[in-house]
Amino acid sequence: MTAASPGRRAVVIGGGVIGIACAHYLGRAGWKVEVVERATVGSGSSHGNCGLVCPSHVLPLAEPGMVGQALKSLFQPNSPFKIKPRLDPALWSWLLHFAARCNEADMLAAGRGIQPLLTSSLALYHELVEREGLDCEFERKGLLFAYRDPHALEAYAPINRLMTESFDCPAERLDSGALQALEPALREGLAGGWYYHDDAHLRPDKLMRAWRARVEADGGSIREHHDFRGFDSRNGQVRAAQTSAGDVAGDLFVVAAGAWTPLLNRHLGCSVPIQPGKGYSLTMPRPASCPAIPLIFPETRVVATPFPSGYRLGSTMEFAGYDATIRPERLQLLRDGAAPYLREPTCEPVLEEWFGWRPMTYDSLPIIDRCPRFTNVILAAGHNMLGLSMAPATGKLVAELAGGGSTHVDLEPYRVNRF
């Protein structure tokens, strides 16, 4: 990594996990870093997600058969995947591009772009926890897919073959007895499961607190409640970020605004096709019969994550624009989706009911690239449902790109001009 010149200032716009990761690695590369956040650090989708660090999640959302599932969801009030019909040209353009990519060739191409970020980030998380001492309840216990229906269990076998042959990422198949023996918190009588041994998980809110403290200890500063308004620029270079609390000058600017990024298109001078994908979670104390391993229930698309300090149910995907309401029926889907699988699917009291907007691109790949309009602006956005899983690699790539040296991962799949 090429170090910045002494005194060079980097301004990171966005205080989610991607922004804080960028701030960390830029600081380590010699930049004096300031983070500008519209609310508070880690208050968006970085806060209440399920905390999975999952190299197994190589395949994109756009896959064969997904168009039919999406269309069916329009007529199913309790579908975990939901599109709120509305007159929104950007949404329908996104959906058409998404539909065009629901084929095996594009799925595999996206997977080849996703995998390096996941693999690099898992290794970097180990460094952050072991060498930097980030206290985030990081555990590497794998990820377990549990099924009730034997046909659904069997339907995953071709996917596992593809994952093994194309990505060297196999899962262990478990029959009903082996599944119960591995995770006694599951109900008896389930069909079986698939177990990815190498995945990890952590508690997102604790990660954000610890990582923020590390950035500040390294000399970085955080400006909260600074709503970004635009750039002060001259001759293709930005001189300052204009915010609701005044200008923040810098030599380098990183836009890590997550799902808010497309609202900045006119400032960036390029079209960033991101849609906010709304997810929900419930955070509770650990039940008496708490899972030891994070669980996904593919038939209901619900995730159950155990933390040493708590327990969380999460997931669902709702394309409803920037609707900030918490819909009780969506939270109920989490309870109902976990109930058939777990001995104690929930625990009282519920400590937090939460939603967050995931920054969804139609090809499931993030944007990590220089902005076409400005030579000193870098985009780092569009990480879909894998922002936490991809954050360290993204931050390191941004620092490498800013320094002008070689990058540890090929940036070509993440170029903004692919849209």
Judge whether 9-46+206-271+365-418 and 60-104+137-199+275-361 match in fold. Answer: no
Distances (CA, A) of 222 to 117, 378, 381, 386: 26, 19, 19, 24
Q: Look at strands 81-83 and 310-319 and give their pairing.
A: parallel
Digit-coded pLDDT (tens) for 172-229? 999 999 999 999 999 999 999 999 999 999 999 999 999 999 999 999 999 999 999 9
Axis crossing angle, helix 89-100 with helix 66-73, rounded to the nearest 10: 140
First to last CA, the chain: 28
Digit-coded pLDDT (tens) for 266-301? 999 888 999 999 999 999 999 999 999 999 999 999
Under the banding of pLDDT at 50, 70 and 90, the label for residue 371 is very high
Under the banding of pLDDT at 50, 70 and 90, the label for residue 251 is very high
Q: What are the sequence ranges of the domains in the chain?
A: 9-46+206-271+365-418, 60-104+137-199+275-361
Number of helices (H), then strands (E), belonging to the chain: the values are 11, 20
Stretch 312-328: mean pLDDT, rounded?
Answer: 94
Q: What are phi and psi of 312, to 5 degrees?
A: -140, 135
Q: CA neighbours within 13 Å on the CB side: how many for 117? A: 32
How would you write 28-79 as a 3-class SS string? HCCCEEEEECCCCCCCCCCCCCCCEECCCCCCCCCCCCHHHHHHHHCCCCCC
pTM: 0.96
Q: What are phi and psi of 205, to 5 degrees?
A: -65, -35
CATH no., domain 60-104+137-199+275-361:
3.30.9.10
Nearest to 22 by CA among 124, 111, 112: 124
* Least confident segment among 34-43, 64-73, 201-210, 404-413: 64-73
Stretch 147-173: mean pLDDT, rounded?
Answer: 98
66: left (phi over 0), alpha (psi -120 to 50) or beta: alpha
Q: CA neighbours within 13 Å on the CB side: how many for 153? A: 18
Q: Is 391 exposed, middle or buried (0-12, 13-18, 19+ CB in 10 A)?
A: buried
The class that CATH gives domain 9-46+206-271+365-418 is alpha beta
Question: Which neighbouring-strand residues pair with 230?
Answer: 242
Q: Which residue has the higher pLDDT, 188 or 66?
A: 188
DSSP 342-393: BSS---SSP-EEEEEEEEEETTS--EEEE-SS-TTEEEEE--TT-HHHHHHH
